Chain A
Amino acid sequence: MARYAVLIFERVPPEELPPDVMRGHMELPDRIAERGGRVVAGLALEPEATATAIRGDVLTDGPFIETKEALGGIYILEARDLDHALALAGMTPIVDGGVEVRPLIDFVVVEAP
């Protein structure tokens, strides 16, 4: 199985997501599992307004890259190949935006001893 990061870009801020979309996010790992894939890990981000960027030694308010569709979350997906990964990632509930599928070189969870 190959591993991919699925980056979720969404114009609607997380607190305004309709309930059925939120439910869709909660059910996504099970739906992916039913189709032979696996969500290894997932993380949802607070809105971009809460971000702080660091360039060199300069701090700025906001995300590193300003985009219309904000990066709302990322999940790590296990799939047979790109076609399988694209089919699974395509099930991600999106109101206004889309997802990006990126192959991973490696995926390691670093935990303090």
Chain B
Amino acid sequence: MLAATVRVTRDLDLAEEAVQDAYERALRTWPHDGVPERPAAWLVTVAKRTALNLLRRRRTLEAKLPLLVERGGEDEQGGDDDLFPDDRLRLIFVCCHPALGREAQVALTLRLVCGVATPDVAQAFLVSEPTMAARLTRAKRKIAAARIPFAVPAAEELPARLDAALAVIHLLYATGHTAPSGAALVRDELTSRALDLARMLVALLPREREAAGLLALLLVHEARRGTRTDEQGRFLRLAEQDRAAWDRALIAQADALIVAALQAGPPGRFALQAAIAALHAQAPSYEATDWPQILALYGELLRVWPSPVVALNRAVALGEVEGPEAALATVEALEADGRLAGYRYLHATKADLLQRLGRPAEAAVAYRAALELAGNAAEQEFLGERLRALT
């Protein structure tokens, strides 16, 4: 009987379920409906019908949510090429759905869109493998239980939903880029996966300027990535980086994307960030940077994205245009605001401005505050060196 059902389903688990279901139904109905003439045939027919229904339901679910059915083995990389481009897009929007937490969005995107194996996803985010596996399972369960649709959002929802997807990709890149710690190999993998995803979104949604903006931003970061630290792995400031080593081809690619995005209408936050990064990348030297234009772009960015981190970056540009005094006033106002208290760059920026204003004792206090918050060895080393130079 099981075999007869398996022939229909080609799935042992499913067949067992169906057969059991048929027996249960027999126990329920035979006592008052009477035993059928050919009980065995009755059971097989019922089991087959149940199995087909289960199978149909499962296939509908599979069609809707291919991500719930892991394709290929756990260690298979990039096994997503068999998906149609539109399916990849839908999958991204499922993984980056606002009903999921940011941590879950990022993990799901790496695992299911990029096909990165769970242990590698765990390593990238510095959590244990069981923790990451549990996080992925919880997220997948929510997708299934809450019926997060396997669909590209409707036009009116697209900007907000796309923004969430872009934020996830940006976070993926930033995680690899700023390297909280961990092996270089994992970090390179993250940055290249993020670039692939950004390229894919631009190819699939060619009219979305913010997707182009994100790709341009990542390309500029990528062009300068090798020069962010010296041979010893020490962190280098923008002014100290070897501009000759920046990848001009990547910067040109980014520039073309930015120009097209800016010409098409009012820019969003990713296009503006990319424009700022590109201005830095195109300047012949730190001193010859077009700071007034960068300051103007930061003003615009602060308008579309009122974040204290943006305000801090604008203060740095202000320092180059109007001098350290004006910048320090802004930074101190931000410090009083309190939202950036745990943000190391606030203290590092303040320290640098104080130093330029000839107030080394206060600068040292700020450097120490930044050091306490520094996330990785390269940054600690950099800040420690700045502190020692003061005292």
Q: Which residues of A contact B (CB under 8 A)?
A: 2, 4, 80-86, 101, 103, 105
A105 → chain B, closest Cβ, in Å? 8
Q: Is B145 in contact with A83, judged by CB distance below 8 angstroms?
A: no
CB neighbours of B99 from chain A (8 A): 82, 86
- Binary contact track B146-173/A, C-beta < 8 Å → 1, others 0: 1111010100010000000000000000
CB neighbours of A86 from chain B (8 A): 99
Q: Is A83 in contact with B146, judged by CB distance below 8 angstroms?
A: no
Complex: chain A residue closest to B142, CB-CB: A103
A101-B146, A103-B146 known; 4 new pairs, CB 8 Å cut-off, are A82-B147, A83-B153, A83-B157, A103-B147
Q: How far is the CA of A101 from the CA of B149 in the complex (A)?
A: 15
B17 → chain A, closest Cβ, in Å? 18
- Binary contact track B265-309/A, C-beta < 8 Å → 1, others 0: 000000000000000000000000000000000000000000000
Q: How far is the CA of A25 from the CA of B148 in the complex (A)?
A: 26
Q: How far is the CA of A29 from the CA of B361 in the complex (A)?
A: 67
CB neighbours of A80 from chain B (8 A): 149
CB neighbours of A81 from chain B (8 A): 147-149, 151
Complex: chain A residue closest to B153, CB-CB: A83
Within 120-154 of B, Cβ neighbours of A (below 8 Å) are at 145-149, 151, 153
Within 7-54 of B, Cβ neighbours of A (below 8 Å) are at none
CB neighbours of A84 from chain B (8 A): 149
- Binary contact track B80-117/A, C-beta < 8 Å → 1, others 0: 00000000000000000101000000000000000000
CB neighbours of A2 from chain B (8 A): 147
**Which of A4, A82, A105 is within 8 Å of B148, CB to CB?**
A82
Q: How far is the CA of A107 from the CA of B280 in the complex (A)?
A: 59
CB neighbours of A4 from chain B (8 A): 146
Q: Can you pick out 18 interface pairs between chain A and chain B where the beta carbons lie within 8 Å of each other? A: A81-B147, A81-B148, A81-B149, A81-B151, A82-B146, A82-B148, A83-B148, A83-B149, A83-B151, A83-B153, A83-B157, A84-B149, A85-B147, A86-B99, A101-B146, A103-B145, A103-B147, A105-B145
Q: How far is the CA of A84 from the CA of B147 in the complex (A)?
A: 10
Q: How far is the CA of A57 from the CA of B147 in the complex (A)?
A: 38
B234 → chain A, closest Cβ, in Å? 48
Q: How far is the CA of A17 from the CA of B385 in the complex (A)?
A: 62
Q: How far is the CA of A83 from the CA of B149 in the complex (A)?
A: 7
- 5 tightest A-B CB contacts, nearest first: A81-B149, A81-B147, A103-B146, A2-B147, A82-B146
Q: How far is the CA of A50 from the CA of B151 in the complex (A)?
A: 44
Complex: chain B residue closest to A81, CB-CB: B149
Complex: chain B residue closest to A86, CB-CB: B99
A53 → chain B, closest Cβ, in Å? 28
Q: How far is the CA of A81 from the CA of B143 in the complex (A)?
A: 10
Q: How far is the CA of A82 from the CA of B149 in the complex (A)?
A: 7
B119 → chain A, closest Cβ, in Å? 30
CB neighbours of B97 from chain A (8 A): 82
B293 → chain A, closest Cβ, in Å? 40
CB neighbours of A101 from chain B (8 A): 146
CB neighbours of A85 from chain B (8 A): 147
CB neighbours of B151 from chain A (8 A): 81, 83
A96 → chain B, closest Cβ, in Å? 22
Complex: chain A residue closest to B98, CB-CB: A86
Complex: chain A residue closest to B161, CB-CB: A83
CB neighbours of B147 from chain A (8 A): 2, 81-82, 85, 103
